[in-house]
Chain A
Amino acid sequence: MTDTARTTTPAPSEVLPAISVRAAGKIFTVAKGAEVQALTGIDLTVAPGEFVSLIGPSGCGKSTLLRLIADLDSATSGEILVFGKTARQARLDQEYGIAFQSAGLLPWRSVQANIELPLELHGVGKAERAARAEELIELVGLTDFRSRFPDQLSGGMQQRVAIARSLAERPKLLLMDEPFGALDEMTRERMQQELVRICSETGAAVVFVTHSIPEAVFLSDRVVVMSPRPGRIVDIVSVDLGAGTSRSDSLRENPAFFAGVTAVREALHGSPVAPLGADLR
């Protein structure tokens, strides 16, 4: 199960990978010159259209890795390429869309104006902006809320706005840091379903940080399991549950799904674990 090449993934030589991380490391210098080794020796390749989750205990560097790819922080060693460009160039060229754990909406902008924000910043005309926002609002099912303000929305709705915003410029790569972290289980499962659908419709590659094993398995083509001190990749679990469009709620009852969950749990705990452990999240 571990690290078997996905049959649908083309060989790296044929297609430029969406993300290529080689021997990347990150050291934070904290107060009084002390250093924190947040990441070490990270190697990861994400193919175009591939859905990859990052999972691991708190503090293992998932967010840091995502921030390095997004060029919100810079790596202290190694190389990070996004669509063959440096992370910085990829950011300047707007090659990715991003969503954080907190929705990060601007409270003084309506739902529609929040979704239009990236388009506005990049000089897209008013009519075109409105048309695109309309599509996205429909996509995330917020048609009746387009002129509402963030504090008039539930947490789940805000998160959907943030996801719509991250999709606004049709990025070929989506970076998401625990976007469903604050949601209840029901909303969360519905959002997962919507995300799978959106991604398979848009064909975007996704790097998705999560703490939930079932979430990672349900969404992903591959699950990257990380471990802390120093942050590193301990295992990459391939999940073969079929294309995103065919993933529905019934999949959660499927033996292949459970096998995936077990494999990720074993990788996380570093040894075989009882299959009926109460904690699936």
Chain B
Amino acid sequence: MTTTVSAAAMATDPSAGGAGAGRGAAGRSVARSVLPPVVLGVAFLLVWQLAVVAFDIKPYLLPSPTDIVGQIVIVFPLLWSSLLATGLNALIGLVLGGVLAVVLALLASRVTIFDRMIVPIVAAVAVVPIVALAPILNTMFGSTSDTPRRVVVLIVVFAPIFINTLRGLRQVRPVHRDLMRAYAASNWQLTRTVTLPGAVPFIFTGLRIAAPLGVISAIVAEYFGGLQNGLGSRITSAAANSAYPRAWAYVFGAIILGLVFYGVTLLLERLASRRRA
């Protein structure tokens, strides 16, 4: 995985060839990776629109794309503020959960007893159903706070990041271990110069899995009462009022939010691997 990425980075390294040529190639490769999904998406929307019109499908079953776009325009200010509210919950939960996961994985990789203690706990955390957790947290933290939602996100993103990071931390090559021992390096020096940098690609793999999950759980957590400020609350209230195109407009917002989170983690991963090679 690392090799492919760094090979790509090499290919576009401005010092390797002409800077202009490199940028042109990068532009072309972006076009090649962006164009097919866009074409597919447009075709899909067309078929959807035609089907709704042709078969006279009722809006409560499936509204047409043009209806949804109309609703997006109408509710845009509210859509935007809900998107920000849910996005902030997801972001805070993701960052806190990520930091906690990396720190605990570091501990588990260093302290055997701690490793034995935490692995079953992580397995348990990984299967906690948000549906059960969200109402309980609402009661715990009070339903006028965003905290329960952030905690839900934290719990959901923790396991994938922890498991991947720990796997990365255990990948230290014996030759590197020998080398650091020969240098009489301390445990902390080993972690800082070898173990942690080696685990970076694994941390990003975990993050890439966790980011969309975090957005989904931030939305789902809003289904169980509490503040009415996010995408999840808007979707449920629109659906409860039989305003189906409006509900779909908020679903569209949720998709955008998920894609933004995924895209940003992908971008960060690219940046991190470009720094290496």
Using a CB–CB cutoff of 8 Å, the interface residues on chain A facing chain B are 67, 70-72, 91-92, 94, 96, 98, 100, 102, 104, 106-108, 117-118, 120-122, 149, 151-152
Contact = CB atoms under 8 A, between A and B. Distances in A.
Contacts of B173: 104
A151 B277 contact: yes
Decide if the interface of chain B is mainly helix, strand, loop or mixed.
Answer: helix
Contact of A100 (B6, B179, B189, B197): B179
Interface residues of B, number: 24
Interface of B: 2-3, 6, 10, 173, 175-176, 178-185, 189, 193-194, 197-198, 200, 275-277
A106 B6 contact: no
B274 to A, nearest CB: 11
Nearest to B200: A108
A121 B193 contact: yes
A104 B179 contact: yes
Given A70-B182, A118-B183, A149 B194 contact: no
Given A72-B182, A100-B175, A100-B178, A106 B197 contact: yes
21 contacts: A67-B178, A70-B182, A72-B178, A72-B182, A91-B182, A92-B184, A98-B178, A102-B175, A104-B175, A104-B176, A106-B176, A106-B193, A107-B277, A108-B200, A121-B183, A121-B185, A151-B3, A151-B6, A151-B277, A152-B10, A152-B277
A102 B173 CA distance: 11
Nearest to A118: B183
Contacts of A70: 182
Nearest to A175: B182
Nearest to B176: A104
A108 B276 contact: yes
A152 B144 CA distance: 56
